[in-house]
Amino acid sequence: MINQVTLAARVVSDIELRRTNKKSILVTDFRAMYQDKKLANALFIDVEVWGSEAQHVTDTIKRGDNVLIVGELRRDVWTSKNVATGVSENRSKIKITAHRVVLSNPSNSNVEVNVQINTDTNVKSKDRKSVV
């Protein structure tokens, strides 16, 4: 099964860098928004980035930036207690685990982005503002 997603979106939250408890592995979390051309429907999705790419994203991406996200869809599942009823409920959400996050500039018609995903994810861009 192929699990691959490429999303052009805007970063709508602050970038948060943290370390895991076990091995001091870097992870970055942020929220992205995709909106169709009619501006009628907006999709907000959480994005996580691991390892050296997490540090790179934290150093180069900020809230409001347009980005190209390349990664895979993941489903987080957990149980939480309903405060009103005291009953435990199963919860889940879909997020993107990103392999690459690249700055994009939709107003620049000369931008050409070529994304290829194999075993080693490669992202190439002719846009000088892109982060690879």
Q: Rounded to an integer, what distance in angstroms lies between the CA atom of residue 65 and that of residue 60? A: 10
- Rounded to whole angstroms, the Cα distance separating 53 from 20 reads 15
Chain segment 60-112, per-residue pLDDT in tens? 999 999 999 999 999 999 999 888 888 898 999 999 999 999 998 755 433 33
Residue 127 has pLDDT above 60, yes or no: no
Q: What is the pLDDT of residue 121?
A: 39
Closest CA to 42 of 33, 50, 30, 51: 33
CA 94 to mean position of chain CA atoms: 11
Question: pLDDT, tens digit, for every residue of 5-21?
Answer: 999 999 999 988 888 87
The strand pairing partners of 20, in sequence order, are none
Rounded to an integer, what distance in angstroms lies between the CA atom of residue 9 and that of residue 65? Answer: 8
Q: Note the pLDDT tens digit of each residue in 27-66.
A: 888 888 887 776 678 888 999 998 889 888 999 999 999 9
Contacts with 83 (C-beta within 8 Å, 6 or more apart), sequence order: none
